[in-house]
Chain A
């Protein structure tokens, strides 16, 4: 048969109208994996399966349900006990779905009695076997327990020796740990001293500049860069609120020098008579400082000396009247994550 002929046979197959030889030829073709025929068959079989809906409904006899519900259980048991090979010769029309899942072996209801006696025999033999094994176990049990006791004593001694060794090692480790701790403390102290000196130097530079010396104060950007190298500096990123979705900010706080750097980007220009104010919020907001965004400015760096706020949970920037306010009153523009 050509593919065209096979394809033409698909609707006939679904309707159950093919001769046996034709059926087998098409089934072989389908099993060879022809996708188009398989798709067509699925559709035509859905059509075939829907046809009985076109009949005028007749309800099954009322007693039938109870009969089936009752007939179900013993048959199921018999089937579990004895398997019987189904000797159906070939596929029936429209049985493609069953063909993919060959019929399960079914047991005849009359095999029920036979199955029961078989089950009883099995239970008897299992019982006998269990009785016999428990008897022999008792006889050999006592000797085995003594052997095990001796072996267990041996093992206990070995474990004690190992425990001793383990304790020694543990003590050595504790000593090493203490030494390491000492070294770490030393190094931290040195670091602190260094930072202290740097801060002092910076102060001196400021004082020097304030007294009209050579302008030595570094650009704030340099300070930020230096700060980013300081260990333990805390960095918090801020996101623009609904007022300024494009805006963002980075706040860095150095607990040693008690300085905060806010690098704010893309905030809108401050209207006349207003200023941005940065808040550290713990229980209540504390002002950190104010800054102004001028026309055309896209980024602003605020450097401010602040009291201890390492406990602050949140930071925010609001727009306030010029000079700032003791508590936030205007809309929030930036807020820290988390």
Chain B
């Protein structure tokens, strides 16, 4: 394993998690190094606030340190597990904030968030091994019609249900459902090539 793939989020070794379970501090440190940029990026996209994203990441990593034994190789890759966990906790926070009647404090960050999605050039923060998958996902997303991409993002990053998306976009429910379904199916087709080459993430 070369130096760059050691830091790739797409390349987390299940054995590393096994070591974390046993309380290996060095393994935990490495897990953080490999995954924190990806998880923080996603947390920031969902929460739209740097402090909250950092807080969320702390919660998630502490949860991993405690309940990482729940990770099971049969259920997906370590990074898929971490992404699922982080997204779910971030959406929880988003809902809790909404129920407290606070507005999403994203105005100041909106512009930088827009660039978060639009810019797909090489990023110095990414390990080289992640670049390939980033390019792949980026181009798969870009290949989707704008409406499908938008509906997917509202569901995935804002935690909205299809009914909520329909209301927000003022579109019929069936249309929204179809957009998400088609979007996911097309992504699956484009990414299948990557999986078949053994780069399953």
Interface check A64, CB cutoff 8 A: yes
Closest chain A residue to B29, Cβ basis: A69
**Docked complex: B106-163 residues within 8 A CB-CB of A:** 115-120, 123, 125-126, 130, 133-134, 136-138, 140-141, 151-152, 155-156, 159-163
Residues A59 and B54 in contact, CB atoms below 8 Å apart: no
Interface check A65, CB cutoff 8 A: yes
Residues B180 and A15 in contact, CB atoms below 8 Å apart: yes
Closest chain A residue to B44, Cβ basis: A58
Residues A47 and B75 in contact, CB atoms below 8 Å apart: no
Interface check B37, CB cutoff 8 A: yes
A103 to B1, CA, bound (A): 33
Interface check B188, CB cutoff 8 A: yes
Interface check B18, CB cutoff 8 A: no
Chain A residues with Cβ below 8 Å from B52 are none
Of B37, B79, B83, most buried by chain A (CB within 10 Å of CB) is B83
* Interface magnitude class on chain B: 35 or more
Interface check A212, CB cutoff 8 A: no
Interface of A is mostly: helix
Query: Which of A48-56, A122-130, A191-199 participates in binding chain B?
Result: A48-56
Closest chain B residue to A102, Cβ basis: B70
Residues A106 and B63 in contact, CB atoms below 8 Å apart: yes
Chain A residues with Cβ below 8 Å from B23 are 76
Chain A residues with Cβ below 8 Å from B191 are 46-47, 50
Residues A58 and B125 in contact, CB atoms below 8 Å apart: yes
How near does chain B come to A66, taking the closest CB pair, in angstroms?
A: 10
Which of B41, B118, B155, B177 is close to A52, meaning CB atoms less than 8 Å apart?
B41
Interface check B13, CB cutoff 8 A: no
Chain B residues with Cβ below 8 Å from A14 are 184
Interface check B27, CB cutoff 8 A: no
Residues B184 and A93 in contact, CB atoms below 8 Å apart: no
A18 to B165, CA, bound (A): 11
Closest chain B residue to A14, Cβ basis: B184
Interface check A175, CB cutoff 8 A: no
Closest chain A residue to B178, Cβ basis: A8
A55 to B117, CA, bound (A): 5
Task: Answer whether A50 and B70 are a contact pair too, CB < 8 Å, given A44-B188, A45-B80, A56-B117.
Answer: no
A106 to B59, CA, bound (A): 11
Which of B70, B72, B84, B92 is close to A45, meaning CB atoms less than 8 Å apart?
B84
Residues A56 and B115 in contact, CB atoms below 8 Å apart: yes
Interface check A100, CB cutoff 8 A: yes
Extra contacts, 10 of them, besides A59-B40, A68-B58 (Cβ < 8 A), are A17-B160, A53-B130, A60-B54, A64-B57, A64-B58, A65-B32, A69-B25, A72-B28, A94-B87, A104-B70
Complex A-B: 8 CB contacts under 8 Å: A48-B156, A49-B81, A59-B36, A59-B125, A76-B66, A93-B91, A98-B70, A101-B70
A interface residues, Cβ below 8 angstroms from B: 8, 11-12, 14-19, 42-61, 64-65, 67-69, 71-72, 75-76, 79, 92-95, 97-98, 100-101, 103-104, 106
